[in-house]
Amino acid sequence: MKNQVREQRTQKGLSQAELAAALGVSRQTVISIERERYLPSLPLAFRIARFFGRTVDAMFDPDSEELTS
């Protein structure tokens, strides 16, 4: 799933460690989300969106995920 986490973080001039501390997660979690290897839980997705002053659907694009039948 595509996301805007890295773009928003760099616009705010934050390191991955600073964002992780603000969200209460590990730096590795932030790295995995930014690399689109980890889908955050719904509560974490809301915390991320709220932190950046955006909506969840503005931060995460579920339409970019390939669906398999």
User: Which domains, ranges and CATH numbers included, belong to the chain?
Assistant: 2-57 (1.10.260.40)
Neighbours of 3 (CB within 10 A): 20
What pLDDT shows up at residue 68?
Answer: 44
Q: What is the pLDDT of residue 40?
A: 96
Residues whose CB is less than 8 angstroms from the CB of residue 67 and which lie 6 or more positions away in sequence, other chains included: none
pLDDT of 12-47, one tens digit each? 999 999 999 999 999 999 999 999 999 999 999 999
**Which ranges in 1-69 belong to alpha helices (H)?**
5-11, 16-23, 27-34, 42-52, 56-59
| pLDDT recorded at residue 64 | 60
Res. 11: pLDDT tops 80: yes
Q: What pLDDT is recorded for position 62? A: 77
